[in-house]
Amino acid sequence: MALPDVKQSATEARLATLRMPEAGCTRDAREAALARLRAMGLPGRRDEYWKYTRPDTLISPEAPAAEVFHTDEPMVFDGFDRLKIVFVDGVFSPEDSDDLTLEGVSIDRLEDICCKDIHWAKQLYGVLEERGQTPVQRPLAALNTAFAQDGVAIHVTGKPSKPISLIYRHESESSDAILHHVIRVESGAEVTILENGPAASRFNKCIEIDIADGGTLHHVRAQGRDHQRRAATHMFTRLGKESVYKSFTLTVNGVLTRNEQVVELTGDDAVAHVAGACVGDGDFHHDDTVFITHDAVNCESRQVFKKVLRNGATGVFQGKILVKEGAQKTDGYQISQSLLLDDDSQFLAKPELEIYADDVACSHGSTSGAIDETAMFYLRSRGVPAKEATNMLTLAFLAEAVEEIEDEALAEDIVSRLEGWLARHS
Partner 1 sequence: MAALDQTQVKEGVDQETVDAVREVGTYKYGWDTDIEMEYAPKGVNPDIVKLISEKNEEPEWMTEWRLKAFERWTQMEEPKWAMVHYPEIDFQDQYYYARPKSMETKPKSLDEVDPKLLATYEKLGIPLKEQMILAGVEGAEDGPAEGRKVAVDAVFDSVSVGTTFQAELKKAGVIFCSISEAIKEHPELVKKYLGSVVPVSDNFYATLNSAVFSDGSFVYVPPGVRCPMELSTYFRINAENTGQFERTLIIADKGSYVSYLEGCTAPQRDTAQLHAAVVEIIVEEDAEVKYSTVQNWFPGDENGKGGIYNFVTKRADCRGDRSKVMWTQVETGSAVTWKYPSCILRGDDSQGEFYSIAITNNMQQADTGTKMIHLGKNTKSRIVSKGISAGKAQNTYRGLVSMHPKAKNSRNYTQCDSLLIGDKCGAHTVPYIEVKNNSSRVEHEATTSKVDDDQLFYCRQRGMDEEEAVALVVNGFCKDVLQALPMEFAMEAQQLVAISLEGSVG
Amino acid at 179: L
Cα 142 from Cα 150, distance rounded (Å): 15
Shortest spacing between CB 37 and partner 1, in angstroms:
23
Q: Which is nearer to partner 1, 117 or 325 (CB)?
A: 325
CA-only gyration radius of the chain, Å:
21
Q: Which residues contact 35 (CB under 8 A, 6 or more apart)?
A: none
Which lies closer to partner 1 via its Cβ, residue 356 or residue 377? 356
Of 99 and 358, which CB lies nearer to partner 1 in the complex structure?
A: 358
Residue nearer to partner 1 on the CB measure, 217 or 313: 313
Distance between CA atoms of residues 364 and 353, nearest Å: 8
Q: How far is the CB of 309 from partner 1 (least distance, A)?
A: 9
3-state secondary structure of 130: helix
State in angstroms the smallest separation of the CB of 57 from partner 1.
22
Considering the complex, what minimum distance in angstroms separates the CB of residue 359 from partner 1? 5
Q: Would you say 172 or 426 has its CB closer to partner 1?
A: 426
Q: How many CA atoms lie within 13 A of 79 on its CB side?
A: 8
With respect to partner 1, which residue has the nearer C-beta, 244 or 279?
Answer: 279
105 HSE (CA, 13 A, CB side): 27
Cβ neighbours of residue 403 closer than 8 Å, sequence gap 6 or more: 411
Collapsed DSSP state (helix, strand, coil) of residue 37? helix
Contacts with partner 1 by CB under 8 A lie at 48, 325-326, 328, 338, 340-343, 345-370
Q: How far apart are the first and last CA of the chain?
A: 51
Q: Phi and psi for 406 in degrees, rounded to 5? A: -75, -40
Nearer to partner 1, 24 or 326 (CB): 326
Minimum distance, C-beta of residue 313 to partner 1, in the bound complex (Å) = 11
Q: Which are the contacts of 61, defined by CB distance < 8 A and separation ≥ 6?
A: 13, 14, 16, 17
Q: Amino acid letter at 174?
A: S
Least spacing, CB of residue 107 vs partner 1, in Å? 41
> What's the CA gap between 58 and 204, in Å, rounded?
8
Least distance from C-beta 284 to partner 1, angstroms?
15
User: Could you give the CA distance from residue 154 to residue 135 in angstroms, rounded to a whole number?
Assistant: 28
Least distance (Å) between residue 352 CB and partner 1? 5
Give the residue with the Cβ less far from partner 1, 113 or 341: 341
Residue 268 CB, shortest distance to partner 1, in Å, is 17
Distance CA 344, CA 310 (A): 7
Of 133 and 336, the one with the shorter C-beta distance to partner 1 is 336
d(CA 84, CA 105) in angstroms, rounded, equals 14
Q: Which of residues 157 and 346 has its CB atom nearest to partner 1 in the complex?
A: 346
Min dist CB 307 to partner 1, Å, is 11
Distance (Å, whole) CA 197 – CA 219: 15
d(CA 276, CA 357): 28
Amino acid at the residue 280: G
Nearest distance, CB of residue 149 and partner 1, angstroms: 37
DSSP secondary structure string for all residues of 131-193: HTTSSS--HHHHHHHHH--B-EEEEE-S--SS-EEEEEE---TT-EEEEEEEEEE-TT-EEEE
Which residue, 95 or 373, is less far from partner 1 as judged by CB? 373
